[in-house]
Amino acid sequence: MTELRRAIGLRTIVSTGAGMALATVTYVSFIEVASYLTGNSAWIAIISAGLMAMLAGSCFCELNSMYPTAAGLKLFIEKAFGERAAIVIAGVYIIGQLAIIGAEIYILSQAISQGFTFMPPVVWAIAFGAVLWFINYRGIKIAGAVQDIIAYTMFAGLILISIYGLYTIDFQIENPLGIGSFAEGFIPAMAIGITAFIAFEWVITMSEEVTDVKLIPKGMMISLGVLTIVYALFSTAMTSVLGMETLAVVLEPDGLPIPHIMYGEFLLGGFGLYFMIGMSLLASLTSLNAGIMTSSRFVYALSRDWSLPRFMSKLHPRYATPWVAMIVVTIYAVIVTTYGFLTHMILSMIFVIAAAECMIYVVMALSVIRLRFKEPDTERGFKIKGGFLIPIIVIVIYSIVVSFILFGPVKPQDVLDQRIALYFLLGVFVLNTLYVFTIWPRLRAKYQKIADARKPRRRRK
């Protein structure tokens, strides 16, 4: 039987975790964060979100050290709370998280069309989607090498243009500590800031393809540190150089989601325009490449474990890639991308992604606590220090944040996006619950019957 191949190391773990999070849609999140604060203090909300992501990441690290598998996210919940709960929660999470692929393709196509007007945005979207699918189809080593090159090039480029931007204003940042109202300013800003770190934890789905599973926790924390530094630096440079009055156009209902393109063109003219288009391309390529790599492994693992139809667990006999799962992920991405082109309501996708992310952080922290009692003797290669303190902090903080995302006060123009996100997640939850109590039992019984029929029977003496 063909299996996933162990072929990637720490470098690719870092580039995948950080690259999955740093997407073109992240630049829009920076402006949303800044719009809730009174000064050029988006960096405070971003660093706070980064620190919280590290606490949440430690929960993933402990759980993954117990059960290092591509289906880890589902298995952690299953071990703690049962398989039905695991399928429902994991289903809501993966469907919510995969919205990032559609949103990213949409924003990338809009950004590229600013410099290359001869081709409609939708054609760019189709072209890049096809290229990334082919790269991933050919195998994890090729996809990993591509990920390393584009991710590290992108980080270097963003750091350089951030420092240059701050240099042009003599590093004079106006009101860098002003956050305004804590409840109606900082908390919503940090909640949106969390979207900038979305999906860093997806590297655990590659646990069956790393040369050493102990590299996962190390790589995850390094990627979060890199992201926090780059985000804080770039968001500060962009808002300080252009000012929120100029960037406010991005937040308008029909505004183009390209603040980074505006920043590059303002700094360096035509060269800056194409430089930031290049950064957009790299950001989207690394995010989409990592997204296809990780999400397809998760779908594959769910199918292999009989939680989804078995045909999704097929691996290519030569490249050992889950090509059917990749097709399933691609179809969903096309649907979300189409929604973006038809409605232009990208913020609703960001709300969905952020809420799904906060939900899974809370569930992972609860799973850590539950398994400490339920399986105290299970070996843990990584264990969170301080007893239950960090998991409890994660539960409290992210419960507050998710409530703000879905129910808290937002700007009037964002109310519809918020409601769409809420209804979408509720709908997905209901559909997953129906699946678990109607289709899944029949699916499991069918596969169990097939497995029993294939078992060799003992001969009678």
Q: Which residue has the tokens 């009989």?
A: 306
Q: Is the residue at 450 inside a domain?
A: no
The answer to whether position 1 is within a domain reads no
Residue 328 CA to residue 289 CA, distance in Å, equals: 15
Let me know if residue 325 belongs to a domain: yes
Q: Is 117 exposed, middle or buried (0-12, 13-18, 19+ CB in 10 A)?
A: exposed
| Residue 270 falls inside a structural domain | yes
Q: At what angle do helices 25-35 and 99-115 cross, to 10 degrees?
A: 90
Residue-level pLDDT at 407: 87
Residue 98: its H or E element = none
CA atoms within 13 Å, Cβ hemisphere of 413: 13
Sign of CA dihedral 169, 171, 174, 179: positive
Show the tokens assigned to 439.
Answer: 């289709």
Query: Which domain does 330 fall in, by range?
Result: 10-442
Tell me how far apart the alpha carbons of residues 341 and 321 are, in angstroms, rounded to a whole number: 30
Full pLDDT tens readout for the chain, 461 residues = 445 556 567 778 787 777 777 777 778 788 888 888 887 888 999 999 999 889 998 998 899 888 887 667 788 898 999 989 988 998 888 888 777 766 777 776 666 766 666 666 667 666 666 666 666 655 556 666 777 787 788 888 889 999 999 999 888 888 888 887 777 788 888 878 877 887 777 777 666 667 777 788 888 889 899 999 999 999 899 888 888 777 776 666 555 667 888 888 888 888 888 888 777 777 766 666 666 666 777 788 778 778 888 888 887 667 667 778 888 887 887 787 788 778 777 778 878 888 888 899 999 999 999 999 999 998 888 889 888 999 999 999 889 888 888 887 777 777 888 899 999 999 999 999 999 999 988 888 888 888 777 776 655 55
Cβ-contact 34, 253 below 8 angstroms? no
Phi, psi of 210 (to 5 degrees): -90, 150
Q: How far is CA 399 from CA 4, 394, 432, in A?
A: 36, 8, 22
pLDDT computed for residue 438 by the predictor: 92
Q: Which residue, 301, 340, 358, is CA-closest to 96?
A: 358
- How many Cα atoms sit within 13 Å of 275 on the Cβ side? 17
Asked if 288 and 101 count as a contact pair (C-beta separation under 8 A), the reply is: yes
- Three-state secondary-structure class, residue 8: strand
> DSSP characters for 197-249?
GTTGGGGGGGTTTBS-TTHHHHHHHHHHHHHHHHHHHHHHHHHHHH-HHHHGG
Residues 216, 207 contacting (CB under 8 angstroms): yes
Q: Examine residue 156 and state whether it is found in any structural domain, yes or no.
A: yes
CATH at 18: 1.20.1740.10
In a domain, 71, yes or no: yes
In a domain, 348, yes or no: yes
Query: What is the tally of structural domains in the chain?
Result: 1
Q: What is the 3-state secondary structure (H, E, C) of 312-330?
A: HHCCCCCCCCCHHHHHHHH
Is 360 inside a domain boundary?
A: yes
Asked if residues 24 and 284 have their Cβ atoms less than 8 Å apart, the reply is yes
Q: What is the pLDDT of residue 2?
A: 47
* Residue (of 121, 105, 104) closest to 113 by Cα position: 121
* Contact of 52 with 402, CB cutoff 8 Å: no
